[in-house]
Chain A
């Protein structure tokens, strides 16, 4: 079975789905000739032509808004927004338009659009490029938010997203684009939304995360193991829909939870998880749930980002403190 990194898994999924379904079109800035700033769409235009792999003008709102119109015309658009932080230039076209079109038209129209967007820090990118603003979209009913960590999930969930009848925000961890390789099969398979993945089994505590923060938790849990702390790592895979049962189950088994995310602490999706835990599994808790997140400040220059983002060490210490409390 071929080994692929995350970005190769994305590229493979796009190639295979465009081959399978002629309604699929890819659009965005630099996605054609260049193959995308991360080369996620490399080779697509050569294979499928410039009508199906379209270099658009630089305008996030129109890339997203025309995708809705393309979907109404019967196509399956996969727009790329170069960085999630740039979606603010077209934010109103996501929640207020793509997310509500089915509802507004009482099902006459829908918006099967997959918005691909890299995000997350740790690679010294300039301002706006690393912003983890995924929680902002959780307040926009109608949008599904998918955030795989592994190359295997990336391919399976991207295929699932393109086939989904609703708009999907597909988040790609830029830090992990090329750093992890694993077996990613050729050919068709999908990974469903709303089913969390147990990335590591442990008994003392559960670390809950998504996207690149899962990888952080895995490294932290390996260190914790040396110190005799056995941690489960739960990869949520999607925020909407949310696998509440998996969260509750892990909390019941361990009695202790740490939620880790790259977004600033206040109002981050971690708050939603903590609230869900206290509502659904309060009596299974041995101690208050802990959050490890970025600080409530703007994203700093790359030279300082290691002090801003949650780190292995911060996760390790927070978990230690919780377990030994």
Chain B
């Protein structure tokens, strides 16, 4: 069935209506939720994300960067949801495929590169940036987000928490436990599911027999919204509504963005092993970036010249940030003994000394 999947799952089979506010040809359907200048900002971040994917993949192939997971095709999902948050007020809890969202939430591009280059000191999320570290254990971040939202509520801090997860994560036990906790405790949380149709090679229909992931929310006592995840406006509008509900003390919302991972799972993956080129070509027709460009062209604020200029400045940003990150010194191996505990225990300190003495002897 994977070959006939439209953006992840058959809409007709779902018990929820999939929200779409921007048609594939760029025509707005109904009220437009973002001003044109904001749309231009969002477009720049989407295009930066696309450029970052190829830039980082190239660097990984050249051995200058570690494993990288691109979000090619999912830019409207990631950027639209991030734009619905106020970075100064709200918290973002990543999975691992939301790079432009982290940037929008306050992480700088050179620090993002540092993460993928093993520059552990510079990769630290700066104070004041309301972002948790990405979590490679699928779904394990979900209860953290519930707890964080719960804690903010207990401390009477007016803020929402948005947590990212994928369609695969929705099959994990942590998903169930966290959604149930979130409902019972009525926490200010947005569970944002990027349903990109694949968990590595496993297609959605092998992940769940249910018509949607969003429809499960009702079983936990809160609303679930299904949106066209390649539609910037729909993602932004649905997430904004979920954030507003959270801030108003109305509890959690699950937003499922139906999108499609056009690239590979990560730099070790070869998607040709599990899906047809035709399916990817079909998905390309619904490219989320092209859709926004079509809209802006119709609005009269976009042209080839503007596109060229934007792409040039994005490339410049990427190169400058990578150059800055390349100047970060590789970490001293002894730093692996730091930040394990608040204070280094004796036993660990002795092991640190052993490594240091071993390294001294090896270089002598």
- B181 at interface (Cβ–Cβ under 8 A)? yes
- B30 at interface (Cβ–Cβ under 8 A)? no
Question: Does B144 contact A241, Cβ atoms closer than 8 Å?
Answer: no
A103, B119: Cα distance in complex, Å: 14
- A321 at interface (Cβ–Cβ under 8 A)? no
- A244 at interface (Cβ–Cβ under 8 A)? yes
Give the bracket for the number of chain A residues in contact with chain B: 35 or more
**Chain A residues with CB below 8 A from B177, complex form:** 57, 59, 61-62, 65
Question: Does B149 contact A69, Cβ atoms closer than 8 Å?
Answer: yes
Question: Does B137 contact A96, Cβ atoms closer than 8 Å?
Answer: yes
**Chain A residues with CB below 8 A from B151, complex form:** 69-75
- B140 at interface (Cβ–Cβ under 8 A)? yes
Question: Does A25 contact B180, Cβ atoms closer than 8 Å?
Answer: no
**Chain B residues with CB below 8 A from A69, complex form:** 143-151
**Chain B residues with CB below 8 A from A72, complex form:** 132, 144, 147-148, 151
- A317 at interface (Cβ–Cβ under 8 A)? no
* Known interface pairs A59-B180, A73-B151, A74-B155; A144-B125 also in contact (CB < 8 Å): no
Number of A-B residue pairs having CB atoms within 8 Å of each other in the complex: 137
**Chain A residues with CB below 8 A from B135, complex form:** 97
Question: Does A73 contact B140, Cβ atoms closer than 8 Å?
Answer: no
**Chain A residues with CB below 8 A from B148, complex form:** 69-70, 72-73
A110, B279: Cα distance in complex, Å: 44
Residue interface bits B33-74, CB-to-A below 8 A is 1, else 0: 000000000000000000000000000000000000000000
**Chain B residues with CB below 8 A from A215, complex form:** none
Chain A residues 201-253 with CB under 8 Å of chain B are 240-242, 244
**Chain A residues with CB below 8 A from B339, complex form:** 102-103, 105-107
Residues of A participating in the B interface, judged by any CB pair closer than 8 Å: 25, 51, 56-57, 59, 61-62, 64-75, 77, 92-93, 96-97, 101-110, 141-142, 144, 164-166, 194, 240-242, 244
Q: What are the 3 tightest A-B residue pairs by CB atom distance, in nearest-first order?
A: A69-B147, A73-B151, A65-B143
Q: A72-B148, A106-B120 are in contact. List 4 more A-B contacts (CB 8 A).
A: A25-B154, A106-B339, A107-B338, A108-B133
Interface CB pairs A-B, < 8 A, 24:
A56-B181, A62-B143, A62-B177, A65-B143, A65-B174, A69-B146, A69-B148, A71-B151, A72-B147, A73-B148, A73-B152, A93-B140, A93-B143, A96-B137, A97-B135, A97-B140, A106-B338, A106-B339, A108-B127, A108-B133, A109-B133, A141-B340, A241-B345, A244-B347
